[in-house]
Amino acid sequence: MTTEKALVLVNASGAPGPVRIVGDQVEEAGPGAGAAPGDEVVDLTGYLLLPGLAEPHVHLDKAFTADRSGVSDGDLGEAIPAWFALRETLTAADFTARARRAVLAYLASGTFAIRTHTDVSPAIGTTALEAVRVVQAELAGVVDIGIVAMAGSPLTGRAGRDNVAALHNAIDAGADVIGGAPWLDPDPRAACELLLGLAADRGRPVDVHVDETTDPAARTLGDLTALTLRGFPHPVTASHAVSLGSRAADGQRRTAAAVAEAGVSVVAAPQTNLWLQDRAAGAAARRGLTAVAVLREAGVTVAAGADNIRDPFNPLGRPDPLETAALLAAAAQLPPEQALIAVTDAAWTTLGRLAPAVRAGAPAAFVAVAAASTADAVAGAPPDRIAIRGTRVVARTGVTRDYDLPIRTDH
């Protein structure tokens, strides 16, 4: 045990004993990890200690704009033009304020890493991206924010030249990841090839929206996978991949095996895709979700994100990965423990980061939740939480309930 001042977490369920944190790592966990003179001790009696949460897919630039959009039906085809019209009226200060509000809410939930897809286009340039970068700098070292430059469509042909130019500008302005929606392009495979080529040249990972439709004929995930297998040198993430869930079982398994071989991560967005997809299908509606179980069985890293937080694409949504985990458990019919992995280990892996863990040498980023078990934490998403990063308690949220009733209220 070092003599450096540490933060020691004691009496937490889900931990093998005290957890001693020095700097940004766990130094020791277990019965021998006691406190030394001068250490700060945090008593977590009544709390379950979980790895810090991660958000692998959200749109901070769109957050909290649902009441401004005029969207009524919630259809994807209505939401896209409504957002395009709205975003051109927004100021940099507005983008920053809403992004900050969302990130602070994420922090209170125990989230320490976020990947946000941020629009770049000829119409708004890099205004939204630079506004989110303000929040990225403000919370550096507490919440790690990775910014995806989400290019407009199309990217191919003469019509795509301005969108490609805007993407180059976004990389110059500090985008961390290259993205877009190649499935909407007239030539999805060529759009994927363009994005991967640009990312290889500029040394960036890729995270793209693919096949955000229940139409089983959409095959952009296969195009992306095949191109990645040619030898792309950086991490690749496919977000949504909804159409895969509509295909026959043998087709799902073949695609999942290729995705696993390519090392492509997949991010599901259960709430937004359940909200948007197949709204007019009636009794024949398909489930708006990728083939989570099949992908997991093939060895694919499957994470889950909130996607939209009260914006034209989804009037619902909370900046809390535990809510996302609960929705994933219900929609994909996963045990709560597996759903939690999608917003912890798998999410951190998708973001290219080592996941926090209660073991010596692991990153020290934890959330203590007032829950009896993992299943209780996922099912109830209790608001009582303590967020711990390194040797700091960076956020606390508590709820008090008082009842004036002639019955016992302790169970």
Q: Which of 268-282, 341-355, 397-411 has the highest mean pLDDT?
A: 341-355
pLDDT value of residue 355: 97
Give, in words, the CATH class of 7-50+356-397.
Answer: mainly beta
DSSP 8-state code for residue 2: -
Cis preceding-peptide flag for 216 (omega within 30 of 0): no
Residue spans of the domains in the chain: they are: 7-50+356-397, 53-350
Domains 7-50+356-397 and 53-350 share a fold: no
Q: Which residue has the tokens 């976004």?
A: 170
The pTM score is 0.95
Residue 278 pLDDT greater than 80, yes or no: no
Of the two residues 314 and 385, the one the predictor is more confident about is 385
Rounded Cα distance, 388 and 59, in Å:
25
pLDDT in tens, 68-125: 877 766 677 788 888 899 999 999 999 999 999 999 999 999 999 999 999 999 999 9
pLDDT in tens, 351-385: 999 999 999 999 999 999 999 999 999 999 999 99
- Mean pLDDT, rounded, of the chain: 94
Smallest Cα–Cα separation from 96: which of 104, 84, 86, 107?
104
Residues ≥6 apart with Cβ < 8 Å to 84: 123
pLDDT value of residue 411: 59
Burial call 97-108: b when 16+ CB within 10 Å, e when fewer: ebbbbbbbbbbb
pLDDT value of residue 379: 96
User: Is 178:205 a contact under the CB 8 Å cutoff?
Assistant: yes
Residue 91 burial by Cβ neighbours in a 10 Å radius (0-12, 13-18, 19+): exposed
**φ and ψ at residue 253, rounded to 5 degrees:** -65, -40
- For helices 161-172 and 188-202, the axis angle rounded to 10 degrees is 30
Report the topology of domain 53-350. TIM Barrel (3.20.20)
Tokens matching residue 119: 């629009």
What integer is the mean pLDDT of 325-345? 96
